[in-house]
Amino acid sequence: MRDTILRWMDRLYLLCMWIAGIGIVAMSLVIPWGVFARYVLGSGSQWPEPVAIMLMTVFTFFGAAVTYRAAGHIAVETLTQAVSAAWRRRLEVASDLLMLALSAFMAIWGLKLVVQTMGQTLSDLPWLPVGISYLPLPLGSLITIVFIVEKIVFGPQHERPICRLEHHLDETPVTAPEF
């Protein structure tokens, strides 16, 4: 059962990584297009800026979930290294509970924001409800909650090969070709 759940969590982790990655790549293409259209073509497009902002929220909140599971976030460990192992464990549990509370707050209020703004539209993208642009906030927060619960139940997952991006690498070292 544990292995099945962790495999599904790995799939969710990779899905979030792909969503965040596609979001940042797409944003990296949209912004230069906006600059090119404005300064080279002389007619600025209205859509690049709001689309880039939406893509930024996508990679921010899905990327945050990925970063949490892989323990790639910034951590100040001065206090935890200065206390005993028992106190260190208590601080880790407190940290997980605080992270859970923060993520729940963001998921609940983010969902309320999505619902309340669904009837509004963006002036530059009149076909798109504003609520859609806020959707990554509650979705990314919910996925972070899932990863927090996973950590509480199954322990930290950051040492798993998939979180270290070693799940598909060949063990043979790559050497430069000889000329």
Q: Where are the domains of the chain?
A: 2-154
Pairwise CA distance, residues 164 & 152, whole Å: 20
Record the pTM: 0.84
Pairwise CA distance, residues 165 & 20, whole Å: 15
**Phi, psi torsion values for 159, nearest 5 degrees:** -90, -5
Residue 102 is predicted with a pLDDT of 96
- Contact between 44 and 37 under an 8 Å Cβ cutoff? The reply is yes
Pairwise CA distance, residues 101 & 104, whole Å: 5
pLDDT digits (tens, 9 = 90+) for 7-46: 999 999 999 999 999 999 999 999 999 899 888 888 878 8
**Nearest in space to 145 (alpha carbons), one of 112, 94, 109, 102:** 102
The number of residues making up the chain comes to: 179
Residue 167 is predicted with a pLDDT of 59
Residue 124 is predicted with a pLDDT of 86
Residue 87 is predicted with a pLDDT of 87
- Contact between 112 and 150 under an 8 Å Cβ cutoff? The reply is no
Calculate the alpha carbon distances from 109 to 36, 134, 137, 139, 165 in Å.
37, 11, 9, 12, 33
Low-confidence ranges of the chain (pLDDT < 70): 76, 166-179
Pairwise CA distance, residues 23 & 30, whole Å: 10
